[in-house]
Amino acid sequence: MIDSPRHNRRVTGHCRQGLAVVGVVTALLTLSPTLASIASAESMSAKLPAAVVIPNVDPVAMAASQALDQLRLDSTRFDRGRRLRATFVRLRRQVAELIADRLVLNADELEAAWADSDINHQTALIAALTQVGVPYKRFAMKPGVGFDCSGLTSFAWSQAGFNIPRNSTRQIRAADPRTFDTAQAGDLLRYPGHVMMWLGVGQAVIHSPRPRQFVEVKILNTRSMKRSTFGDPTE
């Protein structure tokens, strides 16, 4: 378990409000119109499986869902050596600003870290962010319903086309070791018994923490950060 840091003093009401609509949301776990059209494109379906969009739960999740939709549209152009479109950059910035406000971070630094990461890392990280506010559930990997810690990271990286082990220890052992200086946003960060994804700046992570809590973005305390190990699932 990870101790709650002093910096993460803003416990939002969005996640709590989300519990009231979980029953309804569960019945609506279908692809958004945009994602459905993307999933139908043969060039995208094999590489980037469609993510589940959970409406009206958390502003970060909602903004991340829009950004992920656009990233999927841009991915085929990106693969041909072209730049991602300004629309995605704007949506990515919106997500960064929401998280920066929540964690008291610099939005410019956060966005720059995401822009410096490769397309797979950006896809996995933004996919994880679409699940902010979803409850922790032991042994679960159900978008919009519940995740344990390795379930969230497995889901996120599956959206980038990577099938990683379904266990925190196995995940970090299978990943290529990284350090704070060499890691990218979206890389795994494992504290003993718990796995997270690094947001790319400082001690900021996204994870599914423990029972009766929710997928969240958070600032780790210094002790937890020093005991954590980075790993790149793409290598």
Each residue's pLDDT tens digit, 136-181: 999 999 999 999 999 999 999 999 999 999 999 999 999 999 999 9
pTM for this entry: 0.77
207 as an active site residue: the answer is: yes
Instruction: Note whether 2 and 220 are within 8 A (CB).
Output: yes
Distance, CA of 150 to CA of 132 (rounded, Å): 15
**pLDDT, averaged across the chain:** 82
> Pick the catalytic residue: 14, 15, 121, 194?
194
More confident residue, 12 or 119: 119
**Catalytic residue list contains 121:** no
pLDDT tier, 34 (very low <50, low <70, confident <90, very high otherwise): very low
Residue type, 32: S
The structural domains of the chain, ordered by start, are: 13-232 (3.90.1720.10)
What is the rounded CA–CA span in Å between residue 172 and residue 223?
Answer: 19
The pLDDT tens digits for 37-59 are 333 333 333 344 455 544 457 99
**Catalytic (active site) residue 149:** yes
**Contacts (Cβ under 8 Å, ≥6 apart) of 170:** none
pLDDT tens for 79-106 read: 555 678 899 999 999 999 999 999 999 9
Q: Using an 8 Å Cβ cutoff, are 67 and 99 in contact? A: no
Is 70 exceeded by the pLDDT of residue 23? no
